Chain A
Amino acid sequence: MDIKDYIASGVVEMYAMGTLSPEEKKEFEQKMLVYPEVAAELRSVQETLENFAESHSRNPRPELRGEVLEKVIGKGSAGKDKGNIIPLDPTHRLTYKYLIAASLAALLISTFASWFFYNNWNDAEDRYVAVLKEKNQMAENYNQVKNSFEHTYSDLLVMRDGDAKVMMLMPIDSTKRYQMRVYWNQYTSETYIDVLALPDPGEGKQYQLWAIAGGIPTDAGVFSIPEDQSMMRVKNINVAEQWAVTIEPKGGSVSPTMDQMILISKNS
């Protein structure tokens, strides 16, 4: 294409008014470097457009000069020692208002939440303590039940022992209702007693059990009435034909005080 035709195509005006595509623009700039006519034409068109633009001149508000320059230089010189302080304009102030309102709201909510959760925590703590107490109570009850069961069970084991002889001791004075049982295993020598009813032994006195064999009494141990009414193990006895209980001074005697005998079994 002849350069005159190129110029006449209107491409210079389009370039000047910025309506060329990027490729056309590039082509034009290359042509401008090669053909001084193109550059000269562009200068001419630009001058005309500048005049055209100036023909629309309009003076802005005089105050705008300061505003624009402050903004431009203020922004442009960020990094210079002038600093880059952004003044609080009304929109910023509004933003701060919202920020303050938001933080107050957040404070209020968190205070309420703290109070709420503190109460909840206290509640939970109280209930926890109550449950703990209940649990301890139940453990105690269980232990009691367990203990009493163990006593009962061991009593039962004694009573169910097929090798044990069971002897009922009856009162000497037949008008009284005193009674006691002796469980004696002649193979293992283990001896248990089961108190049913006995008179009060008196101050400083205890009961003493005697095993009698061949007319000779042997000490089988001293005892008091057990609080839990369970059976008691006494001394191991190897030989016994008859059993008797006397009331003796505390600690027992070497031989029975005959006039203090309260119970005796039948001769087996």
Chain B
Amino acid sequence: MVRRIKITEEELIRLLSNREEKGIEILYDNYSAALYGVIHRIVQQDEIAEDVLQETFLKIWNNFGQYDSAKGRLFSWMINIARNASIDKVRSKEFVNRNKNQNIEKAVFSAGEDLQSGFNPETIGIKKMVQELEPEYRQVIELLFFGGYSQSAAAEKLNIPLGTVKTRSRAALQKLKNYFERI
């Protein structure tokens, strides 16, 4: 476990805006495990996940000027960059050709067992709780979050009405929120 340097988000944003190298180092130490987890969850392969993580940090560093704190939290902005880069990768021709027998849906639905594989003691408790989330909620949230599905695409995929996707995704997030608040 990499030691985290405690720093406020404002301070980190200031460092990154000034393009101070210390900023990206702190960013890596604080967020690489979370971002790598999201990426790996989507691309499923160490080598590719490492490439995407590198690409993600490059994008964060080079496009930091596009970050607007009025439009959301920094961590969420970075997670979205990592998610989008991963989803783009999974949808790329190169990736599809390489993994003909392992498509994205399979990756998403094989999620359960994968949750145990990361060794991050700090998050083991949370993982357990996420796993306890009812499958119908987890499916929706995973398709939307890791699969890059729109709500209507997810509805089609799961063969449920769009309204149900909306209520389930909202409910799933509410349940997660409650779990996380209890920690």
Residue A91 at the chain B interface, CB threshold 8 Å? no
Interface contact A58-B130, CB-CB below 8 Å: no
Give me 6 A-to-B residue pairs in the complex whose CB atoms sit less than 8 angstroms apart, sorted by A's number.
A18-B80, A19-B149, A47-B180, A48-B173, A55-B129, A58-B41
- Complex formed: what's the CA distance from A56 to B31 in Å? 12
Interface contact B170-A10, CB-CB below 8 Å: yes
Interface contact A50-B126, CB-CB below 8 Å: no
Interface contact B79-A49, CB-CB below 8 Å: yes
Interface contact A54-B151, CB-CB below 8 Å: no
Q: Most B CB atoms within 10 A — which of A16, A47, A52, A62?
A: A52
Q: Most B CB atoms within 10 A — which of A16, A29, A50, A54?
A: A54
Interface contact A9-B166, CB-CB below 8 Å: yes
Residue of A10, A52, A58 near B40 (CB, 8 A) is A58
Contact flags B92-133 to A (C-beta < 8 A → 1, else 0):
000000000000000000000001011110110011011000
Interface contact A13-B118, CB-CB below 8 Å: no
Interface contact A53-B144, CB-CB below 8 Å: no
* Number of A residues, CB within 8 Å of B: 44
Q: A49-B79, A50-B79, A65-B28 are in contact. Are A60 and B33 (CB under 8 A)?
A: yes
Interface contact A60-B176, CB-CB below 8 Å: no
- Please name 13 further chain A to chain B contacts, defined as beta carbons within 8 Å, in addition to the given A64-B53, A69-B24, sorted by A numbering: A10-B167, A50-B75, A51-B126, A52-B130, A54-B34, A55-B115, A55-B123, A56-B41, A56-B127, A57-B120, A58-B41, A60-B49, A68-B54
CB distance from B31 to the nearest CB of A (A): 9
Return the chain B residue nearest A66 by Cβ: B28
Mostly, the A contact residues are helix
Contact flags A57-81 to B (C-beta < 8 A → 1, else 0):
1111110110111011101110000
Chain B residues contacting A55 (CB-CB under 8 Å) are 115, 123, 126-127, 129-130
Interface contact A72-B57, CB-CB below 8 Å: yes
Chain B residues contacting A58 (CB-CB under 8 Å) are 33, 36-37, 40-41, 117-120
CB distance from B127 to the nearest CB of A (A): 5
- Complex formed: what's the CA distance from A18 to B144 in Å? 9
Residue A114 at the chain B interface, CB threshold 8 Å? no
Return the chain A residue nearest B84 by Cβ: A18
Residue B58 at the chain A interface, CB threshold 8 Å? yes
Residue of B37, B58, B70 near A53 (CB, 8 A) is B37
Chain B residues contacting A9 (CB-CB under 8 Å) are 166
Interface contact B145-A17, CB-CB below 8 Å: yes
Mostly, the B contact residues are helix
CB distance from B34 to the nearest CB of A (A): 5
B residues lining the A interface (CB < 8 Å): 1-2, 19, 21, 24-25, 28-29, 32-38, 40-41, 49-50, 53-54, 57-58, 61-62, 70-73, 75-76, 79-80, 83-84, 115, 117-120, 122-123, 126-127, 129-130, 141, 144-145, 148-151, 166-167, 169-170, 173, 176-177, 180
Residue of A14, A47, A56, A64 near B50 (CB, 8 A) is A64
A residues lining the B interface (CB < 8 Å): 8-10, 13-14, 16-19, 29, 32-33, 42-62, 64-65, 67-69, 71-73, 75-77
- Complex formed: what's the CA distance from A203 to B32 in Å? 128
Listed from nearest, the 6 A-B pairs whose CB atoms lie closest are A56-B37, A58-B118, A10-B166, A55-B126, A58-B37, A46-B76
Chain A residues contacting B25 (CB-CB under 8 Å) are 69
Return the chain A residue nearest B152 by Cβ: A19
Interface contact B145-A49, CB-CB below 8 Å: yes
Chain A residues contacting B57 (CB-CB under 8 Å) are 68-69, 71-72
Residue of B35, B58, B127, B144 near A75 (CB, 8 A) is B58
Interface contact B37-A73, CB-CB below 8 Å: no
Return the chain A residue nearest B82 by Cβ: A53
Interface contact B53-A14, CB-CB below 8 Å: no
Residue of A53, A62, A65 near B38 (CB, 8 A) is A53
Interface contact B118-A10, CB-CB below 8 Å: no
Residue of B29, B34, B61, B73 near A57 (CB, 8 A) is B34
